[in-house]
Amino acid sequence: MSKSVLKILATTALAGLVASPLLAQTYNLGRAALPAEIAAWDIAVEPDGTGLPEGSGDVFTGEDLWVENCAMCHGDFGEGAGAYPVIAGGEGTLTNRRPVKTVGSYWPYLSTVFDYVHRSMPFGNAQILSADDTYAIVAYILYSNGIVEDDFELSRDNFLDVVMPNADGFYVDDRAESEYPQFSTEACMSDCGPAVHITRRATDLQSTPEGAVTVFAPDRPTGLAANAGAPEGGEGAAPAAAPVAPAEEPAQEAAAEPAGPALDPALVAAGEGLWRQCRSCHQIGEGARNGTGPELTDVFGRHAGSVEGFRYSGPMQEAGANGLVWTHDELDAFLTDPRAYMRGTRMSFRGLRDAGDRAAIIAYLQSFQQ
C-alpha cells in the first residue's frame, strides 16, 4: 500500500474521531465553563446599563486615580499628551474640518466610556481597575468635560441619569434605504448626457500665446480683470488703474496708562517656566484662542466669566455678574486653590501652594497686559 493511500486513511480516521460526540466524551475533550469564568470575561456594558457592576466613585477620587493611571498619556486635564487622544474639550468642533472628538463633544453613550476604561485601560496594564476605580475615573472625565460638578458621585443607580452632550448627534444607518437604490440600477454606458462641444481654445484667451512670452513688470496690472482678455492697448483693454493716494497716518493714540509698577524680569521668567502647567488648557498673547480654558491675554481688570465664546461654569458666570473682577489679589486667592475659592468651577487644576510661584505666574500674566 502506498504512503499516499495510508495518509488518506489516517486523515479520514482522525476526522471521524473528532466528529464523533461519543468519542469526544470518551476522551473528555472540553467542559462547560464555570460561572466565575464566564463572569470574568463577560464585562461588556450596554447603552441601557446592562452589565454595569455594583460600585461607585466620586470626582475627587477619580482625579487622584487619573493622575496615577491616565495623565501620562492623556494629560492632567484630559488635554492629550503627545500622540495620545484628547479626552476633554472640543465642544462645537464636530462641523470643523478637523473636529476634536472627545468624551464631551462626540461620545453619545456613557456606557461606552465605562466599558472602554474598565476593559482596556490603562494602556499596557488593562483591567487592573476595580469597578469603584472605574466609576471614579469616569466621574472625573465627566467633570473635566463640564458635564457634572465637582461634588458628583457616579454609581450604578444614577448612571443612566447622565445625558451626554452629543446623545442626539447620531442617527440610525439608513443607507440600505436611502443610498443603495441609487447605485443598484444599470449603469449608463453611452449618450448619458448632452454632447460636449469646444467653444473656445486656450490661444483665443491668450493664455498660451505664440512666439515670445510677455513678462509683466511689477507696476503693470495683471490678471483677468486688468487684461480682460485683450492685448495691451488693444480694443477692450482695461483702463489703467488710478493712482491711490497714500493712506493718511493715523493719529497717534494717547499713551496707555501704566498697569502698575515695572515688572521684575526674573519673576516674569520664573512665571514663564511655571506656565507649562497652564498652557495645556490656556493660551496667552497675540493670536491666543480659547481651548479647554479661556484665553488669558489682558486678564487684569476683566470681569470673571466674560471671555467671548467660552462656555464657563455656572458659578464663574454668576461671580462675574455679581461684579468679580480679576485683580492681583483675586488671582492670588484663586490660584491658591481654585476649587476652594469658587466651588463648582470647572478648572481642575489643584492650585499653587507656594506664594512665590503664584507671584511669578501673576507677573507672567501681567506681562501680557496691553
CA atoms of 308 and 107, how far apart (whole Å)? 26
For residue 296, is it within any domain? Answer: yes
- For residues 23 and 101, membership in a common domain is answered with no
Domain boundary among 139, 161, 183: 161
Say whether both 109 and 26 belong to one domain.
Answer: no
Residues 151, 73 share a domain = yes
The answer to whether residues 70 and 23 belong to one domain is: no
Do 353 and 308 lie in one domain? The reply is yes
The model carries a pTM of: 0.50
Show which of 129, 144, 161 is a domain's final residue: 161
CATH number at residue 300: 1.10.760.10
Q: Tell me if 120 sits within 8 A of 126, measured CB to CB.
A: yes
Has residue 43 been placed in a domain? no
Distance CA(123)–CA(92), nearest Å, equals 29
Cell of 142: 465627566
276 with 312, same domain: the answer is yes
Burial of 117 (C-beta count, 10 Å sphere; 0-12/13-18/19+)? buried
pLDDT band at 207 (very low <50, low <70, confident <90, very high): low
pLDDT tens track for 157-183: 999 999 999 999 998 899 999 888 888
Which residue type occupies 369? Q
For residues 71-88, one letter each, b for 16 or more C-beta atoms within 10 angstroms of the residue's C-beta and e for the rest, the string is bebbbbbbbbeeeeebbb
| Domain region containing 13 | 3-31
The answer on 67 and 157 residing in a single domain is yes
Q: Is residue 169 part of a domain?
A: no
Return d(Cα 225, Cα 343) in angstroms, integer.
62
Statement to judge: residues 16 and 108 lie in one domain: no
* 210-252 tens-digit pLDDT: 554 444 444 444 443 334 444 444 444 444 444 444 444 444 4
Compute the distance between CA of residue 147 and CA of residue 103 in angstroms, rounded to an integer.
Answer: 10
Whether residue 109 lies inside any domain: the answer is yes
Instruction: Identify whether 285 is part of a domain.
Output: yes
* Band of pLDDT at residue 28, cut at 50, 70 and 90: confident
Q: What per-residue confidence (pLDDT) applies to 160?
A: 96
Number of domains in the chain: 3
Q: Residue 198: inside a domain, yes or no? A: no
Q: What is the mean pLDDT of residues 331-349?
A: 83
Tell whether 331 is covered by a domain: yes
Higher pLDDT, 340 or 297: 297
Which residues, in sequence order, are bridge partners of residue 56?
155
In a domain, 45, yes or no: no
